[in-house]
Chains A and B, each alone.
Chain A
Amino acid sequence: MTELTNLGVAAIRDGVRDGSFSAREVAEAFVSNVAQAKTLNAFLVETPDHALAAADAADAARAAGETLKPLAGVPIGMKDLFCTRGVPATAGSLILEGFTPPYESTVSGKLWAAGAGMLGKLNMDQFAMGSSNETSAFGNVISPWRRNDGGNAALTPGGSSGGSSAAIAARLCPAATGTDTGGSIRQPAAFTGIAGIKPTYGRCSRWGVVAFASSLDQAGPMARDVRDCAIMLENMAGFDPKDATSLQLDVPQWEAGLSGDLKGKRIGIPKEYRVDNMPAEIDALWQQGIAWLKDAGAEIVEVSLPHTKYALPAYYIIAPAEASSNLARYDGVRYGLRDLPEGAGLQDMYAATRAAGFGPEVKRRIMIGTYVLSAGFYDAYFTQASKIRTLIARDFDRAWESCDLLLTPTAPSAAFALGDKSADPLAMYLNDVFTVPSSLAGLPAMSVPGGVDAGGLPLGLQIIGKALDEQGVLNAGLALEQRAGFTARAKAWW
């Protein structure tokens, strides 16, 4: 029998439905893989009972002849940014130590209602601020991938959804939730040879998701292939009156709509994404991606997104500004950590608690945000960045006059070694150069594995679509996936 942990979401769903194996067997196999992979540090909390209970419910439903729910028997991982009732949530930070949500995030609640079970809460960059998973207060996540040079350098699984990407690549779960503020689903997916989609802003409810930058934060699925992402997204998306920016739209049947035939589609290649110092292998993969999409019937057109170079600096005003406001809630009064020095008053308690609870990158971003919002600087920084955001969105709108989708690399390099960039915040920020512009414009975007570099490490291709055109993004992703035939996987060493 096929090893159950090699199966993806669709295969597990179909196998449980057809009786090829029981949901219990699947859950037990993944629970066992999770328990054996502690070296990767992908899970912060393991919840085998949750996964097994959902599996037993699926098996009982099948035995009773009921129609199975869309994710019946599928155990998944949950990024620790999502609050799940009764399970500690930390967002990777000490400041939430001791916090156990008495409520369920809308997205996780939808997944459980669809029959999925939870294997555990996944490690991540602290408050989703990071691109390498090195800002977690609970230690780095180690990528299951290693270079083929015989060295054993520990590599980053990407970030901020690095626990999610590592767990899927290591076959600890078939799929996981991620969140993406400036690339936190797509970059880790690219670094670990899996797929991930950030839907249009507003598709997935932000309710119950620990806030980073609310005008950018979007939940999305990460899984091994495009179909599994489509299945997951269908069960995560949907209108939620509890989120004021939730879109009041029906959820399309993305899985049923999948087609790798791109006849009649025009794919734009943005010339500004040809950045200086781009490794030849990334460029070569991009060219290969263009050839694959042509082969799928698409027409290729060159387009211009002239404000691309301003996206990252604008992002590093807008995201920290929103974060400094959102993270003001961590005051040592209502939940989480409290540091009360002897004889301290209320103001001292706030400052001591926040000094003890936030990690260096979180403090850095809160301070940048506080600075750009402070009296005298607001217009020069925040208002200017918000105007540039309008220009960036306008660039995309103009591009859509001549194309339907965009193809770019996901990241400017393959996974780097842990420690390589952690001393230089700016070098780390530049890793998100290809993912941030579409985040600023709220557009759906996906990374799919395209191939490996000379070191044997995965490289991703990114598809960006028009607002609400997740179907177009998924279909182009599928066309790439069908031609890339990506089968490389990390050899188990953990």
Chain B
Amino acid sequence: MPVDIPTVKKIASLARIAITEEEAARIAPELDNIMGWIEQLSEVDTTGVAPMTAVIPNHLRLRDDVVTDGAVRDAVLANAPQAEHGFFTVPKVIE
């Protein structure tokens, strides 16, 4: 299925990446070329094959339900582009 300009705009919107018309026009044939190459995977018969979920057998560990971290609010907020009164701040969200 060809990746066209409307598709690129939709993907970019889903990925929250602003793109211009020119960028969409440039990216569409690139992605179309890559997806066309990837298309060869459809020729592999995978009937009855389980999708890989873990490359190395491992088991999920449980840990005691205790606090192991925290009380570092100011250190965390120090990296925020904008923080006030101990919170991350964002532009006003109008419903």
Contacts and interface: CB of A to CB of B under 8 A. Distances in A.
A326 interface: no
B87 to A, nearest CB: 11
Given A351-B17, A387-B50, A391-B49, A368 B44 contact: no
Interface in B46-94: 46, 49-56, 58, 60-61, 63, 72, 75-76, 78-82, 88, 90-94
A479 interface: no
Nearest to A430: B37
B17 A363 contact: yes
Interface residues of B, number: 51
B71 to A, nearest CB: 13
Interface string A371-406: 100100000110111111111010000000000000
A393 to B, nearest CB: 6
Given A202-B58, A338-B82, A354 B42 contact: no
A425 interface: yes
A35 interface: no
A349 B91 CA distance: 8
Given A340-B91, A425-B34, A99 B41 contact: no
A257 interface: no
A86 to B, nearest CB: 11
A129 B8 CA distance: 20
Contact of A244 (B11, B42, B53, B61): B61
Interface string B15-43: 11111000000010011011101101110
A102 B75 CA distance: 7
State the majority secondary structure of interface residues on A: helix
A345 B79 contact: no
Interface range on chain A: under 10, 10 to 19, 20 to 34, or 35 or more?
Answer: 35 or more
A279 interface: no
A385 B53 CA distance: 11
B61 A241 contact: yes
A43 interface: no
Nearest to B60: A244
Interface stretch (A6-14, A72-80, A169-177, A313-321): A313-321
A456 B19 CA distance: 43
Nearest to A344: B91
B72 A364 contact: no
B55 A440 contact: yes
Contact of A367 (B11, B37, B60): B11
B79 A367 contact: no
B5 to A, nearest CB: 13
Contacts of A393: 52, 55
Interface stretch (A55-63, A157-165, A327-335): A327-335
A90 to B, nearest CB: 13
A37 interface: no
A426 B49 contact: no
Given A316-B38, A354-B15, A389 B51 contact: yes
Given A335-B80, A349-B90, A391-B49, A384 B42 contact: yes
A200 interface: yes
A388 B44 contact: yes
A371 B38 contact: no
A324 interface: yes
Contact of A346 (B51, B61, B90): B90
Q: Which of B19, B30, B44, B60 has the most CB of A within 10 A?
A: B44
B40 A313 contact: yes
Contacts of A380: 42
Contacts of A337: 81
A69 interface: no
B52 A345 contact: no
Contacts of A324: 15
Nearest to B82: A338
A310 B58 contact: no
A269 B1 CA distance: 37
A314 B41 contact: yes
B50 A247 contact: no
A300 to B, nearest CB: 27
Given A200-B56, A370-B11, A384-B44, 13 more contacts: A215-B54, A245-B54, A247-B56, A338-B81, A338-B82, A363-B27, A364-B30, A367-B8, A370-B14, A386-B51, A389-B51, A390-B50, A393-B55
Closest 3 CB pairs of A and B: A442-B55, A386-B51, A338-B81
Interface of B: 3, 7-8, 11-19, 27, 30-31, 33-35, 37-38, 40-42, 44, 46, 49-56, 58, 60-61, 63, 72, 75-76, 78-82, 88, 90-94
Interface of A: 98-100, 102, 200-202, 215, 241, 244-245, 247-248, 307, 309-310, 313-314, 316-317, 324, 328, 331-338, 340, 344-352, 354-355, 358, 363-364, 366-368, 370-371, 374, 380-381, 383-391, 393, 425-426, 429, 440-442, 467
22 contacts: A98-B79, A99-B79, A100-B79, A102-B75, A102-B76, A310-B44, A314-B41, A346-B93, A349-B91, A354-B18, A355-B19, A364-B27, A364-B30, A366-B15, A367-B15, A367-B31, A370-B11, A370-B15, A371-B11, A381-B38, A384-B46, A426-B34
